[in-house]
Amino acid sequence: MVDTLQKTHFSPSADPYDQVDVRRRMKAILVGSTGNLIEWYDVYAYSAFALYFAGSFFPVADPVAQQLAAASLFAAAFVMRPIGSLLFGYFADRYGRRLSLTFAILLMCVGSLLIAVTPTYDSIGIAAPVMLAFARILQGLSQGGEYGTSATYLAEVSHPARRGFYSGIWYTTLIGGQLAAILVLLILQKLLLTPDQLRDFGWRIPFFIGAALALYCFFMRRDLHETDLFQKSQAVATRVGTWTVLRRNWKMVLYVIGFTAGGTSAFYTYTTYMQKFVKLSVGLTDDQTTLIIFGSLVFAVSIQPLYGALSDKIGRKPMLLAFGIAGTLLTYPLLMTLRTTTSPLVAFLLISLGWCIITPYTSTAAVVKAELFPTSIRALGVGFPYAIATALFGGTIDSVALFFKNRGHEEWFFIYATACIFVSLIFYCFLPDLKKKSRMENAV
C-alpha cells in the first residue's frame, strides 16, 4: 500500500467522484491522519487510567492530591503543543509533510513507551515522576506537530471539489482515538483485570498499545507520497523564506486563534469533560456514563463526513455561522437541561444534539485553516495558532468547569462556553468566501 501512495499523484482535474480516485485519496488521508487517532487515544488513555497509575508515581497519601499531580502533567502536554507545532510545522514547510508526519509519530511512540516502562516511585524514587513528566513533554511536542501537518496533508491531497468531505473523514480519526481508548478501558475493566491488578500493572497495557500503534503508523508513513503543492512551492518558498512569509500573514495567525477558540472549547466540552459532567452533575452510574459517552461518540463519528460533504455544496462559511449561532443560542439551555435529566436515553439524545451543533465546525475547521495560508507556511500557519487556542481554550476546559462547580456555580461554566463560541462567531462573520479566495494554490 505504501508503494502505491508513494507513486500516486492526485490531479485536481480528476473526476471528484471517480471511485478509484476517491479510494486512493481516502487511503492517503487515513494513513496521513492516523496519528490524530493515536494522539487522542493517548490523551484519553492518560486521563482515564490516571485513576490507577497516579499512586505509582506520586507517594502522597491523599488520592485527590495524587490525581491533581497527574492532572498537572496532563496540562503540561498542552503547554508544549505550541512549541511542537512550531518545530514540526517549520520542518513540514521546509522539508516536506511526509518527513514531519513520520518524525512526529515516532516521537509519540517514544513518549507512550516511556510511560509504559517507567518504574514506580517505590523503585526509583523521584526519578519516576520526572520520567513521567518527560514522557508527557515528548507527547505534547508530538501532538503539537501532528494536527497542523496532518491537516495540511489532508487539504493538499484532497480533491478541491470535495475537501469538506475528506475533512470530515479526517476528523473521524480524532474522535476514533477516544473511542479506541474507551474500548481498551472497558475490556480491561470488565473482562480481563480486577481493580487491584489495574493499579498494580494493568495501567501500563494501554500505553504499550499506544506505542505499538504509533510504531505501526511510523512504518505506514515512511513512504507516503509528498504532496504536489509542496513540491511545486519549494523553489519560491526557499527563495523568500518561511519566517518572512509568516510575518506577512500575522493577521491570519491571529484570525485562526479567534476562529478556533469557540470550536475547541466546545469540542473538549463534549469529549474530555462530558464524561465527568455526566457522572458528577447528571449523577448516572459508571456503566451508564461509559455507554452514553461511547454511543454519542459513535454518533459523532458517523456525521462528520456528511457535514463535510454539505460544506462542499453550500460553502464553509454558512457551516461555521450555523455552529456559531446555534452554539451561542443553545449551549446554555442544552447543558442546563442535561444537568437536570435522570434518563440515560435523554442524556444520550442531548449530547448527540450537542454534536449536531458542533459538527459544522469540526468537520470543516481543518480545511478552512489550510485554505487561509499559502503552501510555504501552511503547516506552520495551521498548527501554531491552533495549538495556542487549544492550550488556552481547549485543554483548560476541565479545570474551568470544575473550578466553577467547586464554587457552587456550575452554570457559570455554561456561560463561559457560550461566550467562547460567541467570540468565534464574530470571526466567522468576517471569513472570506474561500471558494473564490482560497490560497491553496499560492506558494507564498
pLDDT in tens for each of the 444 residues of the chain? 444 444 456 656 565 666 776 777 777 777 777 878 888 888 788 877 877 877 777 776 556 566 666 767 777 777 888 999 999 999 898 888 888 988 888 999 999 999 999 888 888 888 888 888 888 889 889 988 888 888 888 888 888 888 888 888 888 888 888 889 889 988 988 888 888 888 888 889 999 999 999 998 888 887 778 888 888 877 776 676 778 888 888 888 999 999 899 999 999 898 878 877 887 777 777 778 888 888 999 999 999 999 999 999 998 999 999 999 999 999 999 999 998 888 889 999 999 999 999 999 999 988 899 889 988 889 898 999 999 998 889 878 878 888 888 788 889 999 999 999 999 999 999 888 776 677 777 777
Residue 148 belongs to a domain: yes
Residue 353 belongs to a domain: yes
- Number of compact structural domains in the chain: 1
Residue 5 belongs to a domain: no
Residue 8 belongs to a domain: no
pLDDT given at position 18: 66
pLDDT given at position 323: 96
| Predicted TM-score of the model (pTM) | 0.85
Residue 246 belongs to a domain: yes
Residues 352, 395: Cα–Cα separation, whole Å: 22
Residue 4 belongs to a domain: no
Neighbours of 286 (CB within 10 A): 10
Task: Confirm if 311 and 363 have CB atoms less than 8 A apart.
Answer: yes
Question: What would the 3-class secondary structure string for the chain be?
Answer: CHHHHHHCCCCCCCCCCCHHHHHHHHHHHHHHHHHHHHHHHHHHHHHHHHHHHHHHHCCCCCHHHHHHHHHHHHHHHHHHHHHHHHHHHHHHHHHCHHHHHHHHHHHHHHHHHHHHHCCCHHHHCCHHHHHHHHHHHHHHHHHHHHHHHHHHHHHHHCCHHHHHHHHHHHHHHHHHHHHHHHHHHHHHHHHHCCHHHHHHCHHHHHHHHHHHHHHHHHHHHCCCCCCHHHHHHHHHHHHHCHHHHHHHCHHHHHHHHHHHHHHHHHHHHHCCCHHHHHHHHHCCCHHHHHHHHHHHHHHHHHHHHHHHHHHHHHCHHHHHHHHHHHHHHHHHHHHHHHHHCCCHHHHHHHHHHHHHHHHHHHCCHHHHHHHCCCHHHHHHHHHHHHHHHHHHHHCCHHHHHHHHHHCCCHHHHHHHHHHHHHHHHHHHHCCCCHHHHCCCCCCC
pLDDT given at position 31: 79
| CATH number of domain containing 134 | 1.20.1250.20
What is the residue range of 413's domain?
15-437
Residue 2 belongs to a domain: no
Q: Which residues contact 61 (CB under 8 A, 6 or more apart)?
A: none
**Grid coordinates representing 408?**
457552587
Residue 300 belongs to a domain: yes
pLDDT given at position 65: 62
pLDDT given at position 146: 87
Q: Which residues contact 50 (CB under 8 A, 6 or more apart)?
A: 67, 70, 71, 74
